[in-house]
Structure formats: structure tokens, C-alpha cells
Structure 1
């Protein structure tokens, strides 16, 4: 059985199918030691490498799981929607062989960790506000970060007609800070910063509860481990 090369690369989690097309066009992909061309197909015994790094096809499901659970490093410009009519939608970007959808959202101009799954039953558990799942972000802004700004952000800001919950905020650079939220209001961090006349220039989510972005490069994804799933949803009995 053969598979299109770009689909094969995407299913290893190395990058999206679109990025795979770019790598192939740039002659950075080899099959059995030879540069691959656009439209190439591969079989189970073929050896695929990107920049000399061997790729291994991974199962869509870990063990005997009923569903898919993956962590993606979403690049800037990708929209967290399942609408196929939206150019750059996250489902087409990942190009997974299973029908998956994002858990929550990450703004188009933001990047970093987002979870996707084929299990609709767990989405409400993860997103339910009272469960207080932590989400950690690294943020760059257009003005020096001050103690007053950090205190104000930590106390809470009126966004969408309601006060945001208290949160943890810390300075990491002259123009950067780290913030940990237990809410997921639309464009929350950008609007909170704007209340103090700061403009967010870069925003990257690096953690959702016990799941960390780690070494995933933009566009790469990986299956969640059993330990990560148990930590995220300790009451769930079946995956």
C-alpha cells in the first residue's frame, strides 16, 4: 500500500501537509536516499528523511485507544476552526487521517500549544470554567513591563463586560511577561493588556495544565501520552 509523501510526513507529526509540500519543493526530503519530487508516493518499506533526519510513521492511536488526542504547536496565521471554507483552518493544516477538532481556541495571530481530539465527549470537561484548567503563556508587548502593569493584570481586568479572575503574572524580560490563566475568554490577554495601553506583539501558549509545549516546533504535533491524559482528565475511564 502506498501513500502520498506529503501525507506520510504529516502523519509522522513532523509537520503539516502544507509544510511538507514546501520541504519537498525545496529538495529537503529524500526517499531511500534520493531527493523526492512533488507528488511522490511511498510504501511501508521506504525510508523517508528530512534534512537527513529519519521519519517514522506513527499510529494515529496510542495502544488501543478509541480516540485521537494530539498536541500541536500552532503557528501564527492558522485559524482554530473546523470550517473547511476558511483558508488556513487548523483541521486542513494538520491533515490528520482521523476526523479531529480543536479543544478551545488560540487566536489566528497567536501561536503555541493547542489540543485536538476526535473525542467530543471530553471537550466540555476541558473547557468547563469551574474545572479551572491552567493555561500558561509567554507574551511580548510594545512597552516596558512595569510592576504596576503586572499587579493590575494579576488583580483582574474588565473584559467583555466582566472582571477576569485573578491570575499569576511575572516579568521575564524588559518587554515580556509570563501569565497563567484559568479562564479562556476570547482574546483575553490582548484585551487585558490593552486596558493598560499595552499592545501584544507576540503571544505563545506553552502549557495547558500538565501538558507542555516542550520541543515541538511550529507546525509539529505529537500524540498525548497516557500519563498526560490521566493528568488532564483524571476522572476519564476510557480513552
Structure 2
């Protein structure tokens, strides 16, 4: 064996040993979620529930890890992940280029469109930026929906109001302080099925532009934890393949959100 071959072989062994030492063995995964975004995540009887929570539990079962859950306000959900408060975000977070600058994502585990909702007596039929000039529009802050309103509608002359939680935007719409809100269609549909949401209706068409609305919703993970990304991706494939995903989907929705 030549000197070059021996050195190359030694380098491979060192690299393999180093990789083995540094790779983390995941036995517990701490998950952060919002707990204020029904039907995807919410608190009921002091317990986190919803589609996100059920999907997370199913993924943890496939990964053969113990999962714990932490509720975190939306505005601080990425900073808390980066600070090590938890290991993954399962909170209906859309995969966008902007967020991928900060964190890694699993593949999508659902994908639903955005829509405007306005009072039932509204005269709004056209929801183009030009048509909503001068209108007061609301959205939850630090979301794909708020980014879209600020980038497109505010520049066209609409007034944009942002809220810490989706429920706060819904309440202002119901109380006549907004002309319309933009949010996930499924979340709005859930709210419109409540007494408070009876005030309102969908207006305009669905919004799906990947430039603003991302590639679907994924699990947010620190970039350094590549092995955890791979574990979640494998688990997502498995729950889709074996019917677990459909069972959870059908518990919450009369249509597929995948």
C-alpha cells in the first residue's frame, strides 16, 4: 500500500470516528408550538391539542423518541428554538426562503391556501391590491400573511394592522375595526363555524403564490441538527404511507390538507 493510500485511509477512519462522536443520539425531542391557532394548535383544559400536536405525537412514535411540548408566543418561536428552549417547532410554520435563512425545515406535512374574510355585509368583491386601497386589513404578525399584506397591499395604499395572535385579528374584524383579514383558509373556516365568526364570509380567491406563501408547512429545526431533520422527514413519509396521516387528517378536516 502506498503512503498516499495509507494516509487517505487514515483520514477516512478519523472522519468516521469524529462523526460518530459528534452525532447526537436522539431519545427525547422537545417541541415548541404556539397553542393559539385552532384547529392546528390550541389549549383545552390546560392541555395542548390540535392537528399539529397529533401529527407531532405520531412523528415522535415513528422516530421512537419521547416528546415534550412547550407553548411559546409566535413572535418568539424561532428565537426560542435558536436559544435551545426546544429542539423543533411544530406550529403550522410555513417553509419560506426568509425563514430558511435562520433555520432548517423538514419536508411539508400540510399545505393550505390563504384567503380574505370580511363582514357579511361588505361591498368587497375584488380583493386585488388596487381594489383594497384605503381599506384597513388585518393579519397575525410575523406570518406569511402579514408579510404579504405589508409587501403588496400596504404599498398599494391599504392600512395594515398586525396582531400578536390570530384570535385578536378575528375579534377586531367581528367588532368592525377592520375591513378584512388575511389568514390560512382552514383556520378561518374553523373560526367562521363559531358564534363570533358568524359575522363574516370569504371574499376573493385563494392565495398560494410560493414566493409569499411558501412550500407548505414543515417542522422547524436548528441548522446544526441535520440528523433530526432526516428523522422527521423519514417519519413524515412513514405516517403518510401507513395511513396514520389520513386518520389524523380526517379527525379534523373533511378534505385532505396534505
TM-score normalised per structure 2: 0.22
Which structure has the larger Rg?
2
TM-score normalised per structure 1: 0.23
